[in-house]
Amino acid sequence: RTVYVNGEYLPEDQASVSIFDRGFLMADGVYEVVSVLNGKLLDFDGHMARLQRSLAALEIANPLAENEYLDAHRALVDRNAISDGLVYLQVTRGNPGDRDFAYPSEDTPPTVVMFTQAKPGLADAPAATTGWKIVSVEDLRWGRRDIKTVQLLYPSMAKMEAKSRGADDAWLTEDGFVTEGTSNNAYIVKDGVIVTRELSHDILHGITRAAVLRFAAEAQMKVEERSFTIAEAQEADEAFVTSASAFVMPVVEIDGKPVGTGKVGAIATRLREIYLEESRKAAV
């Protein structure tokens, strides 16, 4: 695989980053994941806009312009012959040459890393027709989940907890309400109304969420942005999650209880079709 590090394209075994990099020592960095279908990038502008917001929130100067990120994404997709897969992009505060809690001076350049992951058949995941099983896990993450930082230890622990309980993913709960999945936004559908938590510092502002809510509105579906509990989700007609790599993924079981009929729902399935169709059309 060819990867990108600070302007260079290198074989992955020749790419390196300093042990003093703030990303490595302090999780002081942000990331984005863009899906690739048929060699084209989905929702690219949305992901770049969020990258800019994440960097601004951490006062890291964006080292590249959007067209430079686009060129690099395309170069990696090309060089690695990715038809279906992902491009991972990470920007950290860089290498101050030593360890210190205070941010380094502004002449320390951020570290930019990009690599691809091939995922043949990404849009045809069998799970889309069988649905995911979810367990609830308390949300113990920090208070700025709207910043897409590389600080992923707690979601990783929650994912392992889900796996150990025979589930596909965890929905994180705080004060009795679902915040989001370990790496996706969470939704329920009751009496034809799609419900998903409102935007705040408590959740990541999903790029797929924004697109799906737009498509739902265009299809005259009703949407309510508000918090919901696990109990409400278990009584819902349908449930699903959204993310750049899972698109729209139905949820059929929550903490051992079937959601609705226990089969993938019609609204989730329809939204997945619309999302895939529309984002393929707009892909760059």
Q: Which residues are catalytic?
A: 148
Q: List the alpha helices (DSSP H) in 185-265.
A: 207-218, 230-234
Q: Which is nearer to ligand PLP, 80 or 242 (CB)?
A: 242
DSSP state of 12: G
DSSP state of 191: T
Q: Which stretch binds ligand PLP (CB under 6 A): 108-116, 158-166, 203-211, 269-277?
A: 203-211
| Strands of the 29-37 sheet, one edge to the other | 8-11, 2-5, 111-118, 85-92, 29-37, 40-41
- Contact flag: residue 169 with ligand PLP (CB under 6 A): no
Classified as helix, coil or strand, 204 is: coil
- Contact flag: residue 149 with ligand PLP (CB under 6 A): no
Q: Which is nearer to ligand PLP, 170 or 230 (CB)?
A: 170
Residue 137's φ and ψ, nearest 5 degrees, are -140, 140
Q: Which is nearer to ligand PLP, 44 or 94 (CB)?
A: 44
- C-alpha–C-alpha distance, residues 130 and 145, integer Å: 29
Residues in the chain: 284
Q: Which is nearer to ligand PLP, 94 or 180 (CB)?
A: 180
- C-alpha–C-alpha distance, residues 90 and 1, integer Å: 17
According to CB under 6 A, which residues from 216 to 275 bind ligand PLP? 242-244
Q: How far is the CB of 265 from ligand PLP (least distance, A)?
A: 19
In contact, 189 and 161? CB cutoff 8 Å: no
DSSP state of 129: H
- Contact flag: residue 90 with ligand PLP (CB under 6 A): no
Q: How far is the CB of 107 from ligand PLP (least distance, A)?
A: 31
According to CB under 6 A, which residues from 25 to 44 bind ligand PLP? 33
Residue (of 88, 90, 92, 112) closest to 34 by Cα position? 88
Q: Which is nearer to ligand PLP, 30 or 204 (CB)?
A: 204
Q: How far is the CB of 263 from ligand PLP (least distance, A)?
A: 24
Q: How far is the CB of 84 from ligand PLP (least distance, A)?
A: 16
Q: Which stretch binds ligand PLP (CB under 6 A): 10-18, 51-59, 205-213, 276-284?
A: 205-213
Residue (of 204, 166, 212, 198) closest to 182 by Cα position? 204
According to CB under 6 A, which residues from 170 to 189 bind ligand PLP? 180, 183-185
Q: How far is the CB of 44 from ligand PLP (least distance, A)?
A: 12
Instruction: Name 26's Cβ contacts closer than 8 Å, sequence gap at least 6.
Output: none
What residue ranges bind ligand PLP (CB under 6 A)?
A: 33, 180, 183-185, 204, 206-209, 242-244
